[in-house]
Copies of this chain bind each other. A is one copy, B any other.
Amino acid sequence: MSLIVVGSVAYDGVETPHGKVDRMLGGAATYIALSAGYFTKVGIVAVVGDDFAQEDTDLLASRGFDLAGLERVAGGKTFFWAGKYSPDMNDRETLRTDLNVFADFNPKLPDGYRSEPYLFLGNIQPELQRHVREQMPTVKLTGGDTMNYWINDFRPQLLQTLKQWDFLLINDSEARLLSGEHNLRRAAAKIMDMGPHTLIIKRGEYGAILFRRNGHFIAPGYLLEEVFDPTGAGDSFAGGFIGYLAGKGVSPSDGDLDVAELRRAVIYGSVMGSFCCEKFGVDRFRSLTREEIEARYREFEACTAF
């Protein structure tokens, strides 16, 4: 094993202009793990109810994931979210959020996970993120995600948590909210003052920007012919980013990271996010091969070189 992913495993109901699925496997940790799994070995820390289907456990197990940290609550129900996208799919409306067993999620790290080198903390309460991090004293690279709710209502806890992170991976509106700055360069400078030496700001279809103290890297988004369902694209980006770094064994040495590898990790993140949108939910990952990933990475090179 190599990478520990903490976050939600859920069921989603999704409607886009291309169709509607009432209930399918979802959740941030699911997307992150499925995406990262193309690059590295993965252990999951999450909670589900006893309604969690065997075929979904089978899918995760089929990728060689360590599921010792996938807690099952007897008599409980798995987190359920339903949403509907706008015609251009740039906005979505949440129709339903049943936290169920996720409401009391208290990540339990199996002993075998504690000495792993890579940790990605999905979007959960910041204090829970911090407790996990503190149980992995020898971790080489830690980072994660957060969201508007924690930024607004749990700011002191979040700031405490961020101090221990190497990288933060959030979208542009979250970066603006966290920093209080509209301009992304100034927002990034303020956020790096909070702890993370590396900040990745996701911009949806427009790609992502990697910020470091000594410069930044702008990656455009891959131009898809058809977006079927954007659900999980950001988490798939995260999985590609951290998964690539874990697979390569990249870690801060002399207080610095290999910036060329970080840039490649951002491109792999974009590649994985783009694949995610090509089918509903996690479906694209059922058939996706490493060869297709490498082909799209090369296409990215061809479409951006000048």
A24 contacts partner chain B, Cβ-Cβ < 8 Å: no
**Could you tell me how many residues of chain A have their Cβ less than 8 Å away from some Cβ of chain B?**
34
With both chains docked as a complex, state the minimum distance between the C-beta of A279 and any C-beta of chain B, in angstroms: 16
* Contact among B88, B220, B267 with A219 in the assembled complex (CB-CB below 8 Å): B220
* Cβ contact within 8 Å between B223 and A185: yes
Closest to A203 in B: B206
Closest to A87 in B: B182
Chain B residues lying within 8 Å of A306, measured Cβ to Cβ, are 217, 219, 260, 263-264, 266-267, 301
With both chains docked as a complex, state the minimum distance between the C-beta of A226 and any C-beta of chain B, in angstroms: 7
* Contact among B206, B260, B264, B304 with A304 in the assembled complex (CB-CB below 8 Å): B304
A148 contacts partner chain B, Cβ-Cβ < 8 Å: no
Interface of chain A, helix or strand or loop or mixed? Answer: mixed
Chain B residues lying within 8 Å of A264, measured Cβ to Cβ, are 306
Complex alpha-carbon distance, A184 and B215, angstroms: 30
Chain B residues lying within 8 Å of A225, measured Cβ to Cβ, are 183, 185-186
A163 contacts partner chain B, Cβ-Cβ < 8 Å: no
* Cβ contact within 8 Å between A302 and B260: no
A240 contacts partner chain B, Cβ-Cβ < 8 Å: no
A216 contacts partner chain B, Cβ-Cβ < 8 Å: yes
* Contact among B88, B182, B184, B304 with A217 in the assembled complex (CB-CB below 8 Å): B304
List A residues 169-194 near B (Cβ within 8 Å).
182-186
A303 contacts partner chain B, Cβ-Cβ < 8 Å: yes
Closest to A217 in B: B303
Complex alpha-carbon distance, A137 and B3, angstroms: 64
* Cβ contact within 8 Å between A220 and B220: yes
Chain B residues lying within 8 Å of A302, measured Cβ to Cβ, are 215
* Cβ contact within 8 Å between A184 and B223: yes
Complex alpha-carbon distance, A115 and B218, angstroms: 41
Closest to A185 in B: B225
Q: Mark A247-287, 1 if CB is under 8 A from B, else 0.
A: 00000000000001001101100000000000000000000
* Cβ contact within 8 Å between A218 and B185: no
A121 contacts partner chain B, Cβ-Cβ < 8 Å: no
Complex alpha-carbon distance, A227 and B203, angstroms: 18
Complex alpha-carbon distance, A143 and B31, angstroms: 44
With both chains docked as a complex, state the minimum distance between the C-beta of A182 and any C-beta of chain B, in angstroms: 6
Closest to A223 in B: B185
Chain B residues lying within 8 Å of A221, measured Cβ to Cβ, are 218
* Contact among B206, B263, B301 with A206 in the assembled complex (CB-CB below 8 Å): B206
Complex alpha-carbon distance, A184 and B88, angstroms: 12
With both chains docked as a complex, state the minimum distance between the C-beta of A221 and any C-beta of chain B, in angstroms: 8
A207 contacts partner chain B, Cβ-Cβ < 8 Å: yes
Query: Can you list 24 A-B contacts (CB < 8 A)?
Result: A88-B182, A183-B224, A183-B225, A185-B223, A185-B225, A186-B225, A203-B206, A206-B206, A206-B207, A206-B220, A209-B223, A216-B223, A217-B303, A217-B304, A217-B306, A218-B220, A218-B221, A218-B223, A218-B303, A218-B304, A219-B220, A220-B220, A264-B306, A304-B304
